[in-house]
Structure 1
Amino acid sequence: MTMTNTAPAPTVWATLQANDAPALIDFLVNTFGFIKTAAYADGDQVAHAQLDWPEGGGIMLGSYKPDQEWSRRPGTAGMYVVTADPDALYAKVRAAGADIFRPITDQDYGNREFGVRDPEGNLWSFGHYRGEPHP
């Protein structure tokens, strides 16, 4: 049996810049489970990378270049990522020794989530809440 994904391709992408983009890519892939779909680099300078989240969506990132128009200071982003099994991901992230700033907790609004700081200082929250349905 052939299975196809009928969900539309993501049309909104969060973007990050990093002081050490190759290290951040490795961290996001090895610790959280992102998939490195593309990376265009010249040595340790990453012009563009695409990391897909296995459950849908993803991020784009590159090396910090403060002299360019599209420049964001590293370590200032906050991301929320949906996962069907936050407990399993929490165990994986904890085993990797990541900087967990908020342990896994049930929220009043029904989400089960936890928070992690990446090596650049960005904040990541993972939970099963997928947002409210369209009206």
Structure 2
Amino acid sequence: MTERKDSNIWPGLSYDDAIAARAWLKALGFEDGTLVQGDDGTAVHHSEMLWPEGGRVMVSTRGTETGSDFDTTPGSGQIYVVTADPDAVWQRARELGAQVVRDLADSDYGSRGFSIKDTEGNRWSFGTYAG
């Protein structure tokens, strides 16, 4: 695991299949971070996926003992990820067969990006706009 300290916002999402969600995020370019599982090895009580350009997202299994206080409704999450290379992430998303919400395009405010949905319906936007 990479040693670093992110002091920005860390969004959290809960999934019916958090292991599959972590694999999906890894295929998009996230890196494995902390992973705390239950004794059965399927429930994820706490985990972090690291974006190589900075930031992270927490992923847990919906309804776990520790995760239930932070459960999100399936498909209710909306995450924006800043990237210097949205074209590369777009290509990985297409290879995954991700459901496209908004095609890769340049915006009138100077960003280049796109939006997709993960396997449980959460919306992920990737773009160059960093504020």
Shorter-chain TM-score range: 0.7 to 0.9
Q: 1:37 aligns with which of 33, 48, 67?
A: 33
Partner of 1:12: 9
Contact 2:32 2:49 in 1 (8 A): yes
Partner of 1:4: none
Partner of 1:93: 93
Partner of 1:61: 59
TM-score, normalised to structure 2, is 0.87
Q: SS of the residue aligned with 1:93?
A: helix
Contact 1:66 1:73 in 2 (8 A): no
TM-score, normalised to structure 1, is 0.84
Q: Which whole-Å CA distance do the structure 2 matches of 1:88 and 1:16 have between them?
A: 24
Q: SS of the residue aligned with 2:90?
A: helix
Q: Which runs of 5+ in 1 are unaligned?
A: 1-6
User: Kindly, what percent of the aligned residue pairs are identical?
Assistant: 39
Contact 2:44 2:64 in 1 (8 A): no
Q: Which runs of 5+ in 2 are unaligned?
A: none
Q: How far did residue 8 of structure 1 move?
A: 6.0
Contact 2:14 2:61 in 1 (8 A): yes
- Which has the larger displacement, 43-52 or 9-18? 9-18
After the TM superposition, which parts of structure 1 deviate over 4 Å for at least 4 consecutive aligned residues?
Answer: none
Q: Which whole-Å CA distance do the structure 1 matches of 2:9 and 2:97 have between them?
A: 30
